[in-house]
Amino acid sequence: MANKTYTLMHEHLLDTAGELLTKMPFSKITVKHICEEAEVNRNTFYRHFDDKFELLDVIVKEAMKIMSNQIDIDSFQDAPFTTINEFTFPDSLSVLDFQLEDKVFEEQFYNAVFRELTAMASSSDILWLLGNMQVIRIWNSSLPKPYSFQKDYSLFDQIIREKKFPGIDK
Residues 49, 55: contact at Cβ < 8 Å? yes
Percent of the chain with pLDDT over 90: 46
Taking the chain (170 residues) in runs of 10, the rounded mean pLDDT of each run is 85 94 94 97 96 92 76 84 72 69 84 80 85 91 87 94 83
pTM for the predicted model, two decimal places: 0.71
Domains of the chain as residue ranges with CATH: 2-162 (1.10.357)
The pair phi, psi for residue 146, each rounded to 5°, is -65, 150
pLDDT digits (tens, 9 = 90+) for 5-37: 999 999 999 999 999 999 999 999 999 999 999
Half-sphere exposure in the Cβ direction for 144 (13 Å, CA): 0
User: How many of the other CB atoms lie within 10 Å of CB of 13?
Assistant: 22
